[in-house]
Each structure stands twice: as structure tokens, then as C-alpha cells.
Amino acid sequence: MKREIRVGLCGCGVIGEGLVTALQQHADVISARAGAPIRLAAVADKDPARLDIVRAQDPSIALLDDAFEIPKRDDVDIVVELIGGVEVADRLVRAALDAKKHVVTANKALLAERGAALFELAEANGCDLYFEAAVAGAIPVIRVIRESLASDHIRSVRGIINGTSNYILSSMANDGAAFGDALKAAQEAGFAEADPTLDITGGDASHKLALIAGLAFGARVLPSEIPTEGIEQVDPRDIQYARNFGYAIRPLAVAERLQDGALDLRVHPALVPQSDPLAHVDGALNAVAIQGAMVGPSFLSGLGAGAAPTATSVAGDIIDIARNSLAGAPMRRWYLPTEGAQEIQAIADLSSRYYLRFSVQDESGVLAALSGALGDSGISIELMVQDVDDGDGGTATIAMLTHHAHEGDVRAALDAIDDTHLTTASTHLIRIVE
């Protein structure tokens, strides 16, 4: 039997605890597939209660309250970073790589913000830096783009890559749940980030999309460069109108190479036709649809969040690194965008179809004025419905789908309309992705 590979775990929250369980319960299969015993040598967490849970599982594991002690240990070959956040995690991963330890991380914020420098450091130190769990939990999207499709030109990647947002929109659509109740349930189920604002404002998905764009297009993209909108503005009425029009509302991330070479990158809720498989990805499920020049369409779906699914991806990385180490061949992977910064299309230049919901006075001439204002900006209406609101306020709701238009034109027309007496509240826009 070859030598054992020793793992040091930094951070024993939801995913960390899942990893401890996976390494215990699947020890036989993990060691057999790695080609050597994999042993969890040390776990660090500030919270003694979490360490007590580890102690109860295996009293031989060294327990520490300082994650920075893990990279210093001689009995650790692979450091697993699951503390999250950027600053402290950055220092920790650097400390591990400087100590010539391989690293596995699930930290998409860290890699999206600092990945370029960290991958350089890993290479300089002859270390592996793996991150399958950082994007879409258990779905092997990193491996598929980096390895299986390495020979292809990727045209587009579209996906649902935030389980919390998808869970909330699904609960609102399927059970009529209130936004806050659905968010609370997602937090209790362990899908949500420590700060769920990152989930519902699209920040988490933009971190993941930056990593996808790096792998798929060789682009060095910072999350702040990606047009990003969260799901907070989605109203139950939008879900209902979308359904009646034949669409579902999903939290989407889009990365596409345009004809002129620029990249269309964006994160936002979108109307997706019921005929698209993404419309049927429900609850905390994630899905990623990849279109390649040679491979054509492919579709991956699975659990994108939660302890066991995410820990499975972390453990898979540990096995891969163990095999590299045993073969004396670390750094077999390419990680880095090679083409540096690329042009990202401004959202105003996007050509899309749109769902619009207007709150208007229910009086003669309003509809004609609305459609006239849109028509003057070259925006053509495809489908429209009007409902007179309950009560005696004399208001109505008009929901419509447009034909393709440039977003800058649509926004300008809506601003002009909302500046008149025609609407009683700001008009709501959701892009259609098909």
C-alpha cells in the first residue's frame, strides 16, 4: 500500500461537517479510488461546539481553534479551505500554498476576486488548487468545461447556479410562499450563504459566473464587471403572468460569446419558456446548459447547495489531488484564463425580448398612450393582457411581452412613461432568455 494522504480541514460549518461525515462514512471507497488511505488529520474551527461534533465522530483527529495552524502541520498534505469570505481565506490559502500544501476550496468569492494571483502562487509552488465545489455544488461543471470539453469552443453557458434563489422562486410559484418564508426555509436547509444577501442579490451567482467565464472563454472577469440583478423585485404577480404567457421565472446566469467577439455576461431573474429544460429545474436544484461548437448542447442538473452534495465535490477534488501526488504529477490542470481581460457587452446594448408590467390608471387613452410611447422608441408589443385591479382605486395592471429590442431603448421608453401621469408605480421589467 502506498503512503497515506493527510487532510487538514479549515472551517467546520455546514459543508465542513458534511466533509467530515463523507470522509468517515465513505472511507473505504475514497481510499480505494485515491490509491492510498485518505486520513482527516486535523480540523480547525473557532466554534468549540463544531469541534465537539468532530471529536464524537473520531477522537483521533487533532482539533484546533486557529485555521492558520493547519498549513503549519507536518501531518497535513492537503488543506481544505471552507471558512468562506475573502480576506482571511486569501491569507489562509496563501499560507497553505507557501507551505507547499495542495489546496481544495469551495470559495467562489475568493477565487472570483483573487483567483488569478492564487493560481499563479499555486503553480509557482508546484501545488494543486482545486475548486469543483465552488460552482453549482455537486454538479461537475468545472471538470466538464475544463476537461471533457477542453477541445471545444464554448459558445454559451446558461444556468441556474444559485440554489437559494431558485428555491425561493420555486416556492413562490408552486406553494404561493411569501419571499421571506421561502428564504428562511432555504437558510434552515443549509443552502443559503452565511450572508443570504449574496444569494438573493445575485452576488453569489456572479462570483460563480466569473469562474465559468474564465474557464469557458479564457476571460479574466471580476464579479463587479458582470451586470447583476437579484430576485428581490420578483412579485408573485410576475410569476403568475409569466405562467399564463407560457414561461417560468428562474434566477439565471448567462455567459455567451457574441458574434462580434464580446462577451454577454449577466445574472438576473429571467422568463424562461416552458419548453426549455431550465424552466423545470425546481427547488434548490441547479442546472447548467452548455453549448459548444463541436459538442452542441449539453445539460447538467443536480444539487447545487447543501452539505452532502457540496462535500461530495470537495472529496472528489481530494481524491484527484491524492492521485496526482501519488503519481508525482501535480498541476496537471489548467486553471487560468489565458487571454486576460475581454470586452463585456454593456447591458444597454443587449438585444432581448422583455416582459413588462405596468401599473396604470384605468381610464380611456392610457393603453393607446402606452403603446404609442413604446412604438415611438421602436419597441414592438408581441402579447398583452390587462387586468382591472380589485378595489375602487381605478387602477389596472398591464402585462406584456415585447419583440426583440435594445435594452437601452426599452429603459429610456420606460423612464419617459414613468415620468408621465400614465403609470402609478415604476414599471417592472424582466428579460426573457430563450
Residues that bind ligand HSE (CB under 6 A): 137, 162-164, 191-193, 199, 204, 304-305
| Residues across the chain | 434
In whole angstroms, how close is the CB of 203 to ligand HSE at the nearest point?
A: 10
CA dist 52 and 293 (Å) reads 51
Q: What is the CA radius of gyration of the chain?
A: 24
> 201 vs 397, which CB is nearer to ligand HSE?
201
Q: How far is CA 171 from the centre of its chain?
A: 19
| Residues contacting residue 289 through CB under 8 Å, at least 6 positions apart | 156, 157, 158, 159, 277, 278, 297, 298, 299, 300
CB of 172 to ligand HSE, least distance (A): 16
Q: Which is nearer to ligand HSE, 114 or 357 (CB)?
A: 114
Read off the C-alpha cell for 232.
Answer: 428581490
Cβ nearer to ligand HSE, comparing 251 with 330: 251
CB 186 to ligand HSE: min, Å = 7
Gap between the terminal Cα atoms of the chain: 53
Question: Quick one: cell of 209?
Answer: 459566473
Burial of 110 (0-12, 13-18, 19+ CB in 10 A): buried
**Do β-strands 263-273 and 428-432 pair in parallel, antiparallel, or remain unpaired?**
parallel
For the bound state, the minimum distance from the C-beta of residue 244 to ligand HSE, rounded and expressed in Å, comes to 28
Least gap, CB of 163 to ligand HSE (angstroms): 3
Residue with cell 498541476: 331
Nearer to ligand HSE, 163 or 202 (CB): 163
The one catalytic residue among 2, 101, 184, 208: 208
Residue 304 vs 316, nearer CB to ligand HSE: 304
Q: Is 101 a catalytic residue?
A: no
CB-based contact 228:206 (threshold 8 Å)? yes
Catalytic residue positions, numbered = 208
